[in-house]
């Protein structure tokens, strides 16, 4: 459920485009704005995170712990090896 109110100012052209798109999709301008925020900033549902973990577990190959990946990235970035 939505519980936070946000007020934004848009240009007349932006409002016209938002209203036209909301009519085309059969949704509200608010719904369209929420969707745009999610698409731009991203949102990850719990089910998506669980599915990603399951997919990673199903992969075959060599996987490195985060510390090792960070070390390799730093080596590449600085051009230095231990």
Assess whether pLDDT exceeds 90 at residue 18.
Answer: yes
Looking at residues 1-7, what average pLDDT do you find? 89
Contacts of 25 (CB under 8 A, 6+ apart): 32
pLDDT for 81:
67
- Looking at every residue in the chain, the average pLDDT score rounds to 88
Query: What does the pLDDT look like over 25-61, one tens digit per residue?
Result: 999 999 999 999 988 888 778 888 889 888 888 887 7
Distance CA 44, CA 37 (A): 13
């Amino acid at each position: 459920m939505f519980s936070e109110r946000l007020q934004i100012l848009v240009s007349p052209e932006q409002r016209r485009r938002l209203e036209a798109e909301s009519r085309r999709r059969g949704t509200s301008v608010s719904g369209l704005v929420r969707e745009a925020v999610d698409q731009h900033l991203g949102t990850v549902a719990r089910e998506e995170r669980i599915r990603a973990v399951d997919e990673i577990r199903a992969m075959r190959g060599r996987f490195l712990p985060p510390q090792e990946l960070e070390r390799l990235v730093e080596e590449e970035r600085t051009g230095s090896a231990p």
